[in-house]
Amino acid sequence: MHQPHIYTPQDQSYEARLEALKAVMAAREQAKSSREHANDPQWSSVLGGIDEIEVAEMMIESSFSMASSDFQQKELKQAQSDGALTEKELGEIMTAVRQQQAQSKRSNSNSDESSSSHKQS
């Protein structure tokens, strides 16, 4: 099952993927701001309830993970040296990539354990 996402590059070129990544990163910042103001009565009617913000955050984080893994490390370093990504942004992206790799290893490990336990039955 595919999770909804907002990472939609126009094509697979470096520039299109980078533009889409930057859009996802901007959405992350907007979601953080929304959460900060979620309990403010003046803003809650504009921003939506906390449940809506949490759903948006989950979709944005899924999109960020997808976008982060769509780049090779050398492309990310190039984006930083070109000034398209800050050091902080690059760090966030690399953290997301490592988290996704760790999750993938755990999933593979769990499926290996599951298949070997079925073979023993």
State the DSSP H helix or E strand holding residue 15, giving kind and residue range, or none if neither.
helix 14-37
Per cent of the chain over pLDDT 90 is 59
* Beta carbons of 3 and 62 less than 8 angstroms apart: yes
pTM: 0.80
Q: Give the tens place of pLDDT for each residue, 6-57.
A: 999 999 999 999 999 999 999 999 998 888 887 777 776 777 778 888 999 9
What is residue 118's predicted lDDT score, i.e. its pLDDT?
Answer: 56
Q: Give the tens place of pLDDT for each residue, 84-120.
A: 999 999 999 999 999 888 888 888 887 766 655 555 5
- Closest to 90 measured CA to CA, from 75, 105, 108: 75
**Domain spans, the chain:** 14-111
